[in-house]
Amino acid sequence: MKITLVSHASVLIEANGVKILTDPWFVGKAFNESWSLLPPAANGDLSGVDYLWISHEHPDHFHIETLTSLPAEFKSRVTVLFQLNNSDKLPLKLNQLGFKKIVRLPHRKIAALSDGVSVYCYQSGLMDACLGVLADKEEILLNINDAPFNAIDAKIALGDLKRVDVILNQFSYATYNGLPDFEKNLPLDAKQVLDEVAQNHTDLKAKVTIPFASFIYFSSEENKYMNAFANTPESFHRFFKEKGLQSAILYPGETYQSGLAHDNAATLKKFEEIYNKKSELVFDKPKTVELNLIFKAFDKLIHQLYEKYPRFLLRRLKPVSVHIPDLNKSVAFSIRSKSIAEIEGSACDLTIGSQAFYFTLAHPWGGQTLTISGRLRAAGKNRNWLWHRLLFAFNNAEIYLKPKYLFERRMRAWVWSRRKGVFSQFVSQLVWLLKNNAK
């Protein structure tokens, strides 16, 4: 089996004559113009690609600009593999982009692609999915990407696959909750990611881990502070070496041949050259969005939330105050009272630029994007904002809690298919949110 890194979370997997391209992001930015590729993507050869795997809808994995730019011949030829979950929005969007063939992979099922190659889908968290690739007389690969994946998940997946030889895993943090003492918290977050990647390696009894899905820099003026503490391929390599664990570091365009020794030294030298030029990186200044547009986005969001969620849950949410520095204004919004209004003063729960605040309210995925982009500042611990974040995450995942939605046939089937391990995933994510919100 050959694994060639193209960019970020995009790799080309070749096994027994079958080629699978994952999560292509070749051009442009992601997460509301807040992430940029570092290093740039390699010039990937799309000829002969049979399958395209999309792990989940986050834009560094489901990158619309890249998918739009792919040749029409490629879109009509390849078969897209995507998880069979509770939503059709991503497959429908793929159809709109010109992709003709889409296969939905059920949770924890092994599906044959050819006589000698099969794939395995393991759904994780609210929207993520991992890809297993199995080939006759080849090592077994598990692409975890950036999915929440704990010891129970590893036990289940290992039971299904029997063994995992090669892991693809994210190696640095991708979110921040905005608390003011980021100089203290972000190094802890970076260390936690390394601990989790090592634990995945150990739990799955893997031979080698290939770090990926963190080949970016935070490229907005509002989130560039996050770059100083992010893990690098060198720090990942050093950590794994100290743990006595095997890793294979790839630079875009490089290939790992499973079962063969891999020398990381030359690759780490290339990354060192890239990181030594960080002073040349470009950071964008966000546009300004007028307050009336923010108010309109909030009104639309309120209508959607009250349509999909029980009133008694929404009315438990307390107001949130937001200072908008580029407008030199502050507002307070309340889902409970369906209101948003300008207020006096700048001492607020959150500080968010007008464009990021508008984006948060205008799109179902906006709340998650705000945290992933790190374009916010919080005054301190705020359990009320945590519950808003959870609501926004459920809304984006189309997990609606009114009975008429919650007990739809598709939702019931999806929940039933994920009954094993799903509770532990939910609890682990909730604990993570609580822990990070209380630092």
Q: State the burial class of residue 387 (Cβ atoms within 10 Å of its Cβ: 0-12, 13-18, 19+).
A: middle
Higher local confidence (pLDDT), 44 or 302:
302
State percent of the chain over pLDDT 70. Answer: 96
Topology of domain 291-399, per CATH?
A: Nonspecific Lipid-transfer Protein; Chain A (3.30.1050)
Q: What's the pLDDT at 414?
A: 77
Token digits of residue 351:
């500080």
Interval 170-178 mean pLDDT: 96
Tell me what the mean pLDDT of segment 340-369 comes to: 97
Six token digits for residue 267: 């690759």
For the cut 60, the answer to whether the pLDDT of residue 432 exceeds it is no
| Cα–Cα dist 233/251, whole Å | 10
Name the pairing type of β-strands 255-257 and 79-83.
unpaired
Over residues 66-89, mean pLDDT: 96
Which one is predicted more confidently, 380 or 134? 134
Residue 35 bridge partners (DSSP) = 30, 218
Which residues in the chain are classed under CATH 3.60.15.10? Answer: 2-280
Residue 425 is predicted with a pLDDT of: 56
CATH 3.60.15.10 is right for the domain spanning 2-280: yes
Tell me the C-alpha distance between 194 and 162, whole Å: 25
Mean pLDDT to the nearest integer, 255-281:
93
Looking at the DSSP assignment, which residues form a beta bridge with residue 7? 10
Confidence grade of residue 347 (pLDDT, cut at 50, 70, 90): very high
Residue 340 sits at φ, ψ, to 5 deg, of -145, 135
Burial of 265 (0-12, 13-18, 19+ CB in 10 A): exposed
Q: Tens digits of per-residue pLDDT, 159-169?
A: 999 999 999 99
Residue 438 has pLDDT above 50, yes or no: no
Tell me, what's the pLDDT at 398? 92
Amino acid 437: pLDDT: 47
With both helix axes pointing from N to C terminus, report the angle between 265-275 and 233-243 in degrees, rounded to the nearest 10: 140
Q: Residue 379 above 50 pLDDT?
A: yes
* pTM summary value: 0.93
Q: What's the token pair of residue 146?
A: 């950036």
Between 412 and 370, the more confident residue is 370
Mean pLDDT estimate for the chain: 94
If residue 212 lies in a helix (H) or strand (E), which one and from where to where? strand 208-212
Q: In a 3-state reduction of DSSP, which class is residue 401?
A: coil
pLDDT for res 371: 95
Task: Give the pLDDT band of residue 431 (cuts 50, 70, 90).
Answer: low
Q: Model confidence over 292-310: pLDDT tens digits?
A: 999 999 999 999 999 999 9
Question: Range(s) for CATH 3.30.1050.10 in the chain?
Answer: 291-399
Question: What is d(CA 303, CA 309) in angstroms, rounded to the nearest whole number?
Answer: 10
